[in-house]
Structure 1
Amino acid sequence: MKALAEIRDLGWSQAVSDMAAMYEGADAIVTGFITEQIAQPYAESLGVPCLSLHHAPIRPTRHIGPVPGAPALPPLLNSAMWTVAQYTMWLLTRNRQNELRRRLGVSGAAGVNYRGALEIQAYDPLLCQELVREWAGQRRPFVGFLNLSREQRVRIGLDSTDDPGLAAWFEAGDAPVYFGFGSMPVPDVAATAAAIVDAAQRVGVRALISSGWGALAAAVAEDDRVRVVGAVDHDRIFPRCRAVVHHGGAGTTAAALRAGVPSLVCWVGSDQPYWGARCVRYGVGETTRLPGIDADILTEKLATILSSEYTRRARALAEGLISPEQAVRRCADLIERSVHDRATHADDSESERT
C-alpha cells in the first residue's frame, strides 16, 4: 500500500498545476491512464468530454489480471483481482481526487470506476479478439496502434537514421538483429552489452544496438559485426532487420509487428509482459525478463525466433494490422464525434430549459 501510494503521489501536484494552466477553453480533454483522475474533474468543470487513450488493456477483464507478468489465472480470479486493484487505488487517491473536485466546484465524489466519455483502445484488435468480444458495447473502441510520424520523431530528437555511416553499415553485410530497450533501466550495463555481443556471435548475426537510456554504447566495442546507434526511426530500421530484441513497450512492439519481423521481448514491467505474451501467443516472438538476461538466454531465444516459421508468421500478421494512418484517423474521428455529440446535447438541453 505504501509503495502504491508513493507511485500515485509522484507528480500529482505538478500535473494538477500543469492542467490548470492549459484547460480553459478546451473542447475536450484527451488523457491517459495515469492522469485520468486529474483530467476528469477539469473536463467536468468545463462541461466537455474527457476521453482516455489506453495503450494496453488496463480495465477489468476475465482474460488477464492487473499484475504485470503474473502467471495466467482462471477468469473468475482475474475478475476478482481487478476488483481488489481498483478498490485499492480508489482508497489511496479518493481524498486527493475529492479535494480537486471541490476546488473546481464539481459536484459529487470520486467513484471507484472511471467515468469518461470514451476509453479509446490505441492498439490493434487483431491481437486481442477476446477483449473485443468481452468489451463490446462498453464504449471502448479499438483504433489500432498510434504512431509518431517521422517528422515528429525528428523534431523531438528520436531519430538518428540519417547517419551516413549507418546506411553504409547496412549495405556492407547481412540483415542485422536490432537490440534496444528504450527508456528501461538496464541493471548491469556491461554484462548486458557483453551478453548481446556474445549471443549475436553464437547465432551468427550482426548486431545493431541502440544505446537508449541504459547507456549501452559505453560498454560496446564496435566492429564490422556490431554497430551502436542512438535513437532511430523504428519504422525505417525494423524492416531492414531479421529480428528485434526490445523491452516490449506498445510503440516498439507495434513497429516490430508492422515491420513483419519477429520479436524477443525483454520486459521490465507495466504493459511489456502483456505484449511479450501476445507475441508468443501468435507465434511471432519470444519473451523473457530483462533483469538477469545473459548470453545463454539470448542465444536460445534468438535461435527460436530467427527460424523461417517465425519470419513467415510475422509477415502474415503484419498484413492484417491497422495502418498508422488509419489508426490516427479513427482516433481523431472518435474525439471529434464526442465533441460534436456533447455540443449537440448541450444545445438540446438549453432549448428544453428555454
Structure 2
Amino acid sequence: MPPTPKEDHGADFELVGAQFRTSAIAKDDDRVDLAFEADNASTLNSLLDATTRNKGGSSPAPSHHTNVEDPFAHHRCTSVPPLNIVIQIVGSRGDIQPFIALGTELKLYGHRIRIATHNVFQKFVQESNLEFFPIGADPSELMQYMVKNPGIIPKFSTIKAGDIGKKRAMISEILEGCWKSCIEPDPDTGVPFIAEAIIANPPSFAHIHCAEALGVPLHMMFTMPWSPTKAFPHPLANIKRSDLDPKTANYLTYGMIELMTWQGLGDIINDWRENILSLEQLGAIDAAGMMESLRVPYTYCWSPSLVPKPDDWPSYIDVCGFFFRGEPQFSPPDDIEEFLRAGPPPLYIGFGSIVMEDPASITDVILSTLRKCGVRAIISRGWSNLGEGREEDENALFIGDCPHEWLFKRVSGVVHHGGAGTTACGLLNACPTSIIPFFGDQPFWGDMVAAAGAGPRPIHHTSITEANFTAIVETLLDPNTKRAAEAIAVKMQREQGVRRAVKSFHRNLPQANLACNLLPTESGVWMYDAKALKKQGKKKVTKGLTLSPKAVAVLSNHKLLDLTKLKFHHSKPFHLQKQRWDPLTATSSSLLASVVDFSQGFGTFVSAPVKAYKHHHPTKESSSPEVPSTTEPRTNDSGAAAASLTGANKMMTSLVKGSLVDFPVALTEGLNNVPLMYGEKVRKRKPITDWKSGSKEAGKNFVNGFADPIWCLFKQPAVGLTKHGGLGFFTGLGKASMGLVVKPGSAMFGLIAYPALGIYQSIVGASTSGTQAAILQARLAHDAFFNEAHQPSAEDEADVLQEFNSIK
C-alpha cells in the first residue's frame, strides 16, 4: 500500500541509490512530479547511453530450443500454427473496443480468441462473435476511483473514505479472474480452454505471472507509452527538477512509475503469485524492470504519424497504428436524424466511461457556452449521465450510446476525455479535437493532438470554465485546425493498424517452438521424452519430440507412445530471478526479506487464536441469546489451529530458507556481480530448477570463479594499456585485482549455495502440484473435447505415422 500522504495533495518519498537520488510528489492533476539529483550526472548519462544503445539494435532472442543439429529441424514450422489466445483487458469500453478489432483479425488466421474483461462488456464482446470470459470488477467504480485519484498515490480523503481497500479488492478479483481466463472452460457453453498465448494491456497486471505459470508467450499491447525511452517521459510523470541530461531523466521516469505502482500493489500480487500460482514472490526492484529484462514484446496501437517510434526502442517494440473495427450497422433514432438535418454539422461532446463527481456543473458550462457562441452540439450522456433532469435545449441534443464510427462522419469537431480509441476515431474522420483529460494517458493524447495542430491544448476537467470552454469551441471551428486534422486523417487512412499488429504478434512469437514436429500446421503442446524415443531406436534424438493433441492421439492409437513419458511443452518459459548487484546490498536485502517473512508468520501464529476467540465470543450487544451449537467451536478451533500452524510453518520456512538458501545465494551472486559496478560484464547462470541443475551450476561457477580472474589478470591491463595508455594499464590492473578477490569467494560459496537452491526448487516443484494439476486438467479436458469433435483425418494419420517412422 502506498505511503500515507501528509495532506490532500499526495505524498513525498525518496529513494537513495549509489549514483542518484530521486524524489516524487503525487499531485491531484493526474501527474507525478519527479526530481532527480546525481552525484555524478555525466557518469550516469554515459551508463544509460551504453545501455540503451545495446537495446536499440537488439532483436528477439532466439529460442534456446533451436539447434542446427536438431534431427527435427526439417519439420520445423516457419509460420504460426493456430493458437488458443486469451486477451486480458482492464479498462473502459474504449479500452476494450480496439481489442475487439484485433481479436476479429486474429480469427482470420485460425486462432481461437477469448476476450477476458469486465462482466458488463459480455454482450459487447459476444456481438462481435468472439468468446468472452468475465474477470470481475466493476469498471464504473474503477473509473470513479481514477477520477478522484488520477495520480499514482491516492489523496488523503480517499484513504479516509476507505476507497483504497475497495480498489485493492478489485485488483485481487481481477488477478484471480485473469488466471481463471487462462485455464477454465467457457462459463456459458462449458467448452474447455487453455491459453497457448497471452495478449494483455498493462493495467490487467496478471499477464506476466500467468505466462510464467503456463510457460507460454506474452505480448503486451497498449494505447500509451509504457516502455522506457529517452524521447519523452512517462505519460504519468512530470519532471520538475533535474541536473541530469533531459533524455536521461525521461528514461528514468518509467522505472519510477513502475516502482510506485508496485509499492501500492506488490503485496497483493505477491500473495496471489505464491498462493494461487505457486510462484516465488518478487522484490520491488526486480518486479519494476522485469518486462525489459525478459524482453517482452510490446505493440503500441497509435498512429506513427502522430507519435513516431522512438529510436531507442528495440526491434521487439512496434508502433503499428490505431486499431479500428469495421463500422457497425446502425440506424439512427429519429431525434438524431432530425437534429442533424436542422442546421450545420454540430459539435460532439462526450466523456464516455468517465464517472464525474459533479456532472451538473459541467453540463451548465457546456450549455451556456453553446448559447453564447451560437453553436449546436450532440452531447453523449455517458456514465456520468450529463444533462440529467434538464429541459430540452435548442442548441443541444443529449443522446445515449451511438457508434462513433457513424457519428463522427457527421460532426464538425469533437470534445472528449481523450481515450485513445475516441481520439483515433475523431482524427480518422478529420475532426478537430479538444481533449479534456481526467487521468491516465488522456493528458498525453491531449498534448499530442495539440502539437499536431488538430486542436487546442488540453484543459483539465477541474479547470473548465465558460471562458476557456469558449476558447475551445473557437479553436475547433478555426479553418487552420480543420486543415491540420485533415492532414492527419490522410496519413491514418493509409495505415492498417490491426493488420500490422497481428504481424507484430506473429513475428515476436517463438515460432520454432510452437509447431508440432509431426503436424507443422498444429500447435505443439506436449513434449515426448527423448529417452523413451531412444528405446524405440531413434537414437539421434536429443531434445524430445514436440507433439500436438492430434499427433498424440494417432501415435497412442498405434501404440507408438508411452503416455507416461509425456510432459508439458513450454513454448516460452519465463524465469524471473532476483538481481544482486553487490555482496553488501544482496545479503542485507536477503536478511531483511527473511525477517519480514518471519514476522508475518509470527503475526499469523499469534493472531489466529485471537480472531477465532472473537468470532466465538461476540460482544454482549451483538451476541445472540441462543446457545451456540457444540460442533461450531470445534470447527473454528480446528480452523484457528490450522491458521496457527500455517504461521508457524512460515516462521520455520523463513529461518531455514533464509539461512541455508537465500543468504548463501545472495552472497555468491553479489560477489560474482561486483565487476558490474565498474562497467565489466559477468557470466550469468542458467535457471536452477532442481538439484541436478543446482549441482551443475555450482561446478561451472567454481571453475569459472578461479579461471576468469587469472585470465583477466593478463587481459584487463593489456586492454587498458591499448585504449588509454599508462592510466588504463593501472585501471585494468585494479579491476583484475578486484576480480582475484571476489570471484574465488563466489566460487567457494557457490558450492554450498547452488546445490541448496536446487534442492529447495525440487521441494517447491513438488509442492506446486496443485497449480500444475489444474493446468494439466485444463489441457487434458481441452484435448479430449477437441479430439472427439475433430477426429484426425486419414491424411493427418498418414502424415504423423510417416514423419514418426522417418526419424532416425
Instruction: Report the equivalent of 1:55.
Output: 223
1:319 Cα shift? 0.6
**Is the contact between residue 180 and residue 211 of structure 1 (CA under 8 Å) also seen in structure 2?**
yes
Instruction: Report the equivalent of 1:295.
Output: 466
| Equivalent AA in structure 2 for residue 89 of structure 1 | T
Instruction: Report the equivalent of 2:302.
Output: 123
Partner-residue secondary structure (3-state), 1:285: coil
1:305 Cα shift? 2.3
- Equivalences for residues 313-352 of structure 1 within 5 A: 313-321=484-492, 326-339=496-509, 341=511, 343-344=513-514, 352=542
| 1:290-331 per-position Cα deviation (integer Å, ceiling 9, x unaligned) | 12312111101211221111101101111101568x222222
Partner Cα distance (1:67, 1:335) in 2: 24
Partner-residue secondary structure (3-state), 2:388: helix
Partner Cα distance (2:295, 2:468) in 1: 43
In structure 2, relative to structure 1, the CA distance for the partners of 1:219 and 1:352 (3 Å cut) is farther
| Equivalent AA in structure 2 for residue 289 of structure 1 | H
**Is the contact between residue 348 and residue 414 of structure 2 (CA under 8 Å) also seen in structure 1?**
yes
In structure 2, relative to structure 1, the CA distance for the partners of 1:90 and 1:255 (3 Å cut) is same
Partner-residue secondary structure (3-state), 2:360: helix
Q: Does 1:194 align with 2:374?
A: no
Of residues 234-243 and 78-87 in structure 1, the stretch that sits farther from structure 2 once superposed is: 78-87
Instruction: Report the equivalent of 1:132.
Output: 310
Instruction: Report the equivalent of 2:287.
Output: 111
Instruction: Report the equivalent of 1:241.
Output: 411
Of residues 268-277 and 95-104 in structure 1, the stretch that sits farther from structure 2 once superposed is: 95-104
Match of 1:33 among 202, 226, 237: 202
Q: Does 1:209 align with 2:379?
A: yes
| Equivalent AA in structure 2 for residue 292 of structure 1 | S
Partner-residue secondary structure (3-state), 2:436: strand
| 1:221-256 per-position Cα deviation (integer Å, ceiling 9, x unaligned) | 324421110121111111211111111111111111
**Is the contact between residue 197 and residue 207 of structure 1 (CA under 8 Å) also seen in structure 2?**
no
Which sections of structure 1, spanning at least 5 residues, go unmatched?
Answer: none
Partner Cα distance (1:86, 1:117) in 2: 15
| Equivalent AA in structure 2 for residue 296 of structure 1 | A
- Equivalences for residues 297-312 of structure 1 within 5 A: 297-312=468-483
In structure 2, relative to structure 1, the CA distance for the partners of 1:346 and 1:126 (3 Å cut) is farther
Instruction: Report the equivalent of 2:250.
Output: 78
In structure 2, relative to structure 1, the CA distance for the partners of 1:29 and 1:344 (3 Å cut) is closer
In structure 2, relative to structure 1, the CA distance for the partners of 1:10 and 1:281 (3 Å cut) is farther
| Equivalent AA in structure 1 for residue 227 of structure 2 | R
In structure 2, relative to structure 1, the CA distance for the partners of 1:219 and 1:254 (3 Å cut) is farther
Partner-residue secondary structure (3-state), 2:468: helix
**Is the contact between residue 382 and residue 400 of structure 2 (CA under 8 Å) also seen in structure 1?**
yes
Which sections of structure 2, spanning at least 5 residues, go unmatched?
Answer: 4-151, 155-163, 184-193, 518-523, 531-540, 545-808
TM-score by length of 2: 0.40
Instruction: Report the equivalent of 1:20.
Output: 179
| Equivalent AA in structure 2 for residue 104 of structure 1 | L
**Is the contact between residue 55 and residue 122 of structure 1 (CA under 8 Å) also seen in structure 2?**
yes
1:149 Cα shift? 4.0
**Is the contact between residue 369 and residue 469 of structure 2 (CA under 8 Å) also seen in structure 1?**
yes
1:100 Cα shift? 3.8
**Is the contact between residue 271 and residue 281 of structure 2 (CA under 8 Å) also seen in structure 1?**
no
Partner Cα distance (1:71, 1:235) in 2: 37
Match of 2:435 among 245, 253, 265: 265
| Equivalent AA in structure 2 for residue 125 of structure 1 | P
| Equivalent AA in structure 1 for residue 250 of structure 2 | N
In structure 2, relative to structure 1, the CA distance for the partners of 1:91 and 1:195 (3 Å cut) is closer
Instruction: Report the equivalent of 2:260.
Output: 88
Partner-residue secondary structure (3-state), 1:291: helix
Partner Cα distance (1:71, 1:205) in 2: 39
Instruction: Report the equivalent of 1:171.
Output: 341
In structure 2, relative to structure 1, the CA distance for the partners of 1:261 and 1:68 (3 Å cut) is same
Partner Cα distance (1:98, 1:180) in 2: 39
1:150 Cα shift? 4.2
Partner-residue secondary structure (3-state), 1:228: strand
Q: In terms of Rg, which structure is larger?
A: 2
Partner-residue secondary structure (3-state), 1:245: strand
Of residues 265-274 and 221-230 in structure 1, the stretch that sits farther from structure 2 once superposed is: 221-230
| 1:250-301 per-position Cα deviation (integer Å, ceiling 9, x unaligned) | 1111111111011111111110000000111000011211123121111012
1:184 Cα shift? 1.7
| Equivalent AA in structure 2 for residue 172 of structure 1 | A
Match of 1:231 among 397, 401, 405: 401
In structure 2, relative to structure 1, the CA distance for the partners of 1:232 and 1:262 (3 Å cut) is same
Partner Cα distance (2:440, 2:312) in 1: 22
1:123 Cα shift? 1.2
Instruction: Report the equivalent of 1:353.
Output: 543
1:92 Cα shift? 4.1
Partner Cα distance (1:267, 1:69) in 2: 15
**Is the contact between residue 56 and residue 121 of structure 1 (CA under 8 Å) also seen in structure 2?**
yes
Partner Cα distance (2:177, 2:512) in 1: 25
Aligned residues: 343
1:13 Cα shift? 1.9
Partner Cα distance (1:9, 1:279) in 2: 34
Partner-residue secondary structure (3-state), 1:244: strand
Give percent identity, aligned residues only: 24
